[in-house]
Amino acid sequence: MLVGKPAPDFDMVTTKNLDTLDERARLKDYQGKWLILFFYPADFTFVCPSEMIAFNEAVPVFAEHNAELLGVSTDGVYVHVAWMDAMVGYLGFPLASDRNWATSRAYGVLDEAEGIAGRAIVIVDPDGVVRYEVNHADQVGRSPREILRVLTALQGPGRTFAACDLDAAA
* Confidence tier at 157 by pLDDT (50, 70, 90): confident
pLDDT > 90? residue 156? no
Domains of the chain, start order:
34-169 (3.40.30.10)
- Residue of 48, 88, 120, 121 with catalytic role: 48
Contact 99, 74 (CB under 8 A): yes
pLDDT > 80? residue 168? no
Instruction: Report pLDDT for 50.
Output: 84
Full DSSP string of 114-144: TTEE-EEEEEE-TTSBEEEEEEE-TT----H
Give me the half-sphere count of Cα atoms (radius 13 Å) on the Cβ side of residue 118. Answer: 18
Catalytic annotation present for 48: yes
Mean per-residue pLDDT over the chain, rounded: 91
Q: Give the tens place of pLDDT for each residue, 23-81.
A: 999 999 999 999 999 999 999 887 678 888 999 999 999 999 999 999 999 999 999 99
Instruction: Report pLDDT for 104.
Output: 98
Beta strands in the chain (DSSP E): 11-14, 24-26, 34-39, 67-73, 95-97, 110-111, 116-117, 119-124, 130-136
